[in-house]
Amino acid sequence: MITKYSFRFIFLIFSIVILHSCKSKKVLQVSSDKRTISQVISPATDYQWIEAKAKVNFKSTEYSAKGILSMRMRKDSAVLMAIKKIGVEGGRCLITQDSVIYIDRLSRNYKISALTELESIVRMSSNYSYLEMLLSGAAPIIDPEEIIDSSYHRNHIVIKTKINNINHSLTYDIYTGHLKSVEYHDTFSSGTWSFSDYRIVDDAMTLPYKRTYAFQYGNNENLTLDLDFNKIEIDIPKTIQINIPPRYNRIY
C-alpha cells in the first residue's frame, strides 16, 4: 500500500537525482581568474536527452535503503525513472509537465497525481523546471532581478536569491564557477544539498558525480540522500513512456 509517507520517500528517491558520465574521467582545467556573479548565474546546460544510472543511499528518521536508479530525461518534457534493489525493480515513475505516475511493482499498485499535488507530499516546489534542475544536477539559472544579496570570499561566491518564491542561498567556487552547495527555506521545510567531484560529460557539460541532499520537515522528519553516479549518455533519443499492467490496483 502506498501511504503518504512512503510515496514521499519514493518520490524523493526519484526526483533528486542524476548526472554523471559513461566516459573516463577528464582533468578539469582550472583558471586562475576569478569568476564574476554574472558568469556563475547563467550556466550552460547544453543537452536535450539524458540516460543515466546512479547508486542511491537513502536515510530517514524511520527508514533506510540502498538501490540503483535508472533515468531517462527529455528536457522540458518528461522524466522516466526506475529503482532496483538486488537486481529486482521495485518501482517506476514518470514525471511530466503536469502529472506524476508511479507504479509499485512489489504491491502491484499504481498512483496518478497532478504535479501540483506533490507540493503537499514532498513539501517543496512542484514546478517542473525546478524538479528538472534538481534531476539534471545543473546549477539553476538565476534572474539578476531576484538576487537579494551577494558576496565575494577568498574561494567562493555566495548568492542569496528567490527561486520559485523560495529563499535560496547558493555557494559557488570562485575559480571554476561550479555550484558547491545550496540552502533553501520555506514555510514548511528546509534543506541543503552539496555537489563535489565535478567531471566533464561528453565534452559538453561539467557536472558533479557526488551529491548529498538533506531535508527537514517540521521537527521530527529528516531525510538524507547520497548519490554516486557512474554512467550517462547525452542526446541519444530514447522512448519515454510508462505502461500500467492491467491487474494493478489504482491508489487514490
Q: What is the pLDDT of residues 115-140, one digit of tens each?
A: 887 665 555 666 888 888 888 888 88
Q: What is the pLDDT of residues 156-167, one digit of tens each?
A: 999 999 988 889
**Contact partners, residue 13, CB within 8 Å, separation at least 6:** 56, 58, 65, 67, 69, 83, 225
Instruction: Tell me whether residue 135 is exposed, middle or buried, using C-beta atoms within 10 angstroms of its C-beta: 0 to 12, 13 to 18, 19 or more.
Output: buried
Please count the residues of the chain: 252
CA angle 113, 116, 120 (to 5 degrees): 90
**Contact partners, residue 42, CB within 8 Å, separation at least 6:** 141, 142
CA 40 to CA 171: how far, in whole Å? 10
CA 170 to CA 4: how far, in whole Å? 30
CA 195 to CA 128: how far, in whole Å? 21
Q: Where along the chain do its domains lie?
A: 4-243
CA angle 54, 60, 62 (to 5 degrees): 130
**Contact partners, residue 105, CB within 8 Å, separation at least 6:** 88, 89, 90, 91, 92
159 DSSP β-pair partners: 150, 170
**Contact partners, residue 1, CB within 8 Å, separation at least 6:** 107, 109, 251
Q: What's the per-residue H, E or C state across 224-248?
A: EEEEEEEEEEECCCCCCCCCCCCCC
Fold of the domain built from segment(s) 4-243: outer membrane lipoprotein receptor (LolB), chain A (2.50.20)
- φ and ψ of 37, to 5 deg: -60, -40
Query: Is the distance from CB of 73 to CB of 18 less than 8 angstroms?
Result: yes
Query: pLDDT 10s digit of each residue in the chain, 252 long?
Result: 445 555 555 555 554 433 333 333 455 556 678 888 888 888 766 788 888 889 999 888 888 888 998 889 999 999 999 888 878 888 899 999 999 999 999 899 999 999 887 665 555 666 888 888 888 888 888 889 999 999 999 999 999 999 888 899 999 999 999 999 999 887 777 889 899 999 888 777 788 889 898 988 777 788 898 889 998 778 889 999 999 999 999 998
